[in-house]
């Protein structure tokens, strides 16, 4: 017995079970009430083998309000920098810590912690955020670029590149920067606050350099002597002092300094008290492990009205102490400029500026010596009050938990726990217990991250390795919410500032023009 579609649509209540009569009697058959997504099932009934997905268009609620019921809400946030596309749905994800904090109210702290194995695109993802935020008027500040990964981006944005390293540039840790000029424009408590902040930063940096040099913190008495010596230097020295001037004040032993040193009027006792401090200051001014990078006048003063990157790529990876000291000096200078900008904006003398601070290769500074975690911890806790967004970048949780002190390990773990969002690239399976202790991850999310860290496969068509499976893929986690898996695709305009293999390209071009003795190329 054949059933026509017209019969099926005539009375839907009777449709569903029909009888087929044959030699063996009647047999019940089930017939669909209406056609499925591929048409009427069966031969000759118009069933389609392949149904193309309909085109999708994105618009605001004002634009698509009359298209109901063919409208579906977006599954990913649309506030912030277009970061990438959802790996499953293809929907665009807009994501950056400042927009999600200030406008979308999705996070309570404008910071992001980025984790992932090398070569999978951590810096590329951060550059995407920084470039987009620059379009929103937020100034990117890269306070220490070790590779360099951000120099081309800042140059393309018309920013300032400050190069540091042995023989390349100098950053005077006693230079108050723009604080002195800003204080002259301010009055009352605002002026006193700017000067006090500049003094505190200089004292903190001198103590940090001594900590790195000694692998131990200066004593309480030594820090008191340094504090008073800096005040004496500011009162009596014309111009911007350097570490050599600070050393000279300690050697001259003025009465104010001898009082806080508690030498009891004994010159020999004073020399004994300040001997180790004097030796450390000599080490900072005459070379050694930290060279003369911090003891000469600043070669390129930082500006606060444009994007800035401190290029420290000339410092070799074997000089970890110098790298860590330079990173701390860059962070101190950068946050000092932010403080000056906020003070002038509070007084109505300049427009309000927001900054996106990038702290890459965080693990290098944390391993420099005891006390470094406390200094980084102080910087990361006050970013919301200072009006800055922050991106901290490291490889794995093991980098943060490889510190010798249990106290420092817990503080470093807090960097991830306090971050407004955690962005994870490919990570090994051994990292999952450490990561889940700070960020809740489902089993499926963990397996996704582990799969992204697999090595690249060999492409037989090109004769080269294919791209790693996890390159450009990230999982965006906010608290206990399900993670958003996203793929970052570079635009043509971005490729020129994301090429980290320039030296290999230059080698290829040079090799292509070598002429052999017989004249062939």
- Show contacts of 101-108: CB within 8 Å, 24+ apart: 101/384, 101/389, 101/420, 103/79, 104/77, 104/79, 104/80, 106/77, 106/79, 106/478, 107/420, 107/421, 107/478, 108/420
Give bridge partners of residue 30 from the DSSP assignment. Answer: 17
Element (H, E) at 86: strand 82-86
- Rounded Cα gap, residues 216 and 220, in angstroms: 12
pLDDT at 297: 92
With 0-12 CB in 10 A as exposed, 13-18 as middle and 19+ as buried, what is 330? buried
SS3 292: coil
pLDDT digits 0-9 by tens, 296-329: 999 999 999 899 999 998 888 788 888 888 888 8
Yes or no: say if 163 and 289 are a contact pair by the CB < 8 Å rule: no
- Rounded Cα gap, residues 203 and 226, in angstroms: 7
Other Cβ atoms less than 10 A from the Cβ of 73: the count is 5
How is the chain split into domains, by residue range? Answer: 53-138+354-521, 164-309+319-351
Confidence of residue 160 (pLDDT cuts 50, 70, 90): very high
Which whole number is the average pLDDT over 379-398?
78
Confidence of residue 7 (pLDDT cuts 50, 70, 90): very low
Question: Quick one: fold of 53-138+354-521?
Answer: Rossmann fold (3.40.50)
Least confident of 26-30, 154-158, 380-384: 26-30
Least confident of 10-14, 236-240, 465-469, 514-518: 514-518
- Chain centroid to Cα 387, Å, comes to 16
pLDDT digits 0-9 by tens, 235-247: 888 789 999 999 9
In the DSSP assignment, the letter for residue 337 is H
Strands 421-424 and 111-115: parallel
Least confident of 112-126, 394-408, 444-458: 394-408
Structure tokens at 193: 């606050």
Element (H, E) at 115: strand 111-115
pLDDT at 16: 46
Strands (E), 181-314: 308-311
């Amino acid at each position: 017995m054949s059933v026509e579609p017209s019969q099926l649509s005539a009375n839907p209540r009777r449709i569903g079970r029909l009888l087929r009569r044959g030699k063996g009697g009647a047999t019940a058959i089930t017939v669909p009430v209406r056609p499925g997504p591929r048409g009427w099932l069966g031969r000759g009934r118009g069933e389609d083998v392949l149904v193309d997905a309909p085109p999708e268009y994105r618009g605001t609620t004002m634009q698509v309000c009359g298209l109901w019921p063919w409208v579906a809400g977006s599954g990913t946030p649309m506030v912030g920098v277009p970061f990438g596309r959802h790996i499953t749905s293809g929907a665009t994800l807009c994501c950056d810590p400042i927009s999600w904090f200030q406008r979308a109210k999705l996070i309570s702290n404008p910071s992001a912690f980025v984790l992932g194995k090398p070569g999978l695109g951590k810096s590329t993802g951060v550059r995407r955020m920084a470039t987009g935020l620059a379009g929103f008027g937020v100034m990117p500040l890269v306070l220490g670029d070790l590779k360099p990964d951000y120099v081309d981006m800042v140059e393309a944005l018309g920013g300032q590149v400050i190069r540091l390293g042995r023989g390349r540039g100098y950053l005077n840790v006693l230079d108050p920067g723009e604080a002195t000029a800003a204080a002259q424009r301010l009055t009352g408590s605002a002026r006193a606050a700017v000067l006090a902040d500049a003094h505190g930063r200089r004292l903190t940096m001198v103590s940090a350099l001594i900590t790195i040099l000694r692998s131990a913190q200066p004593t309480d008495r030594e820090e008191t002597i340094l504090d008073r010596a800096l005040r004496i230097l500011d009162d009596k020295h014309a111009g911007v002092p350097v570490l050599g001037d600070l050393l000279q004040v300690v050697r001259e032993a003025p009465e104010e300094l001898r009082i806080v040193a508690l030498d009891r009027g004994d010159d020999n006792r004073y020399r004994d008290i300040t001997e180790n401090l004097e030796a450390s200051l000599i080490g900072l001014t005459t070379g050694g492990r930290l060279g003369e990078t911090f003891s000469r006048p600043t070669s390129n003063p930082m500006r606060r009205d444009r994007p800035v990157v401190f290029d420290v790529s000339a410092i070799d990876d074997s000089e970890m102490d110098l790298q860590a000291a330079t990173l701390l000096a860059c962070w101190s200078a950068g946050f000092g400029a932010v403080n000056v900008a906020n003070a002038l904006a509070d007084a109505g003398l300049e427009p309000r500026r927001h900054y996106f601070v990038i702290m890459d290769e965080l693990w290098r500074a944390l391993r420099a010596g005891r006390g470094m975690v406390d200094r980084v911890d102080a910087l990361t806790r006050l970013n919301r009050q200072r009006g800055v967004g922050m991106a901290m970048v490291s490889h794995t949780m093991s980098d943060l938990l490889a510190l010798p002190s249990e106290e420092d390990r817990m503080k470093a773990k807090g960097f991830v726990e306090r971050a407004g969002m955690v962005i994870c690239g490919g990570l090994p399976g051994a990292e999952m217990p450490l990561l889940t202790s700070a960020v809740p991850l489902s089993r499926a999310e963990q397996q996704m991250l582990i799969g992204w860290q697999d090595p690249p496969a060999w492409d037989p068509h090109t004769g080269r390795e294919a791209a790693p499976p996890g390159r450009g893929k990230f999982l965006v986690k906010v608290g206990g919410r399900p993670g958003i898996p996203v793929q970052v695709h570079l635009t043509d305009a971005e490729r020129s500032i994301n090429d980290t293999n320039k030296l290999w390209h230059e080698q290829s071009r040079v090799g292509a023009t070598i002429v052999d003795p017989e004249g062939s190329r």
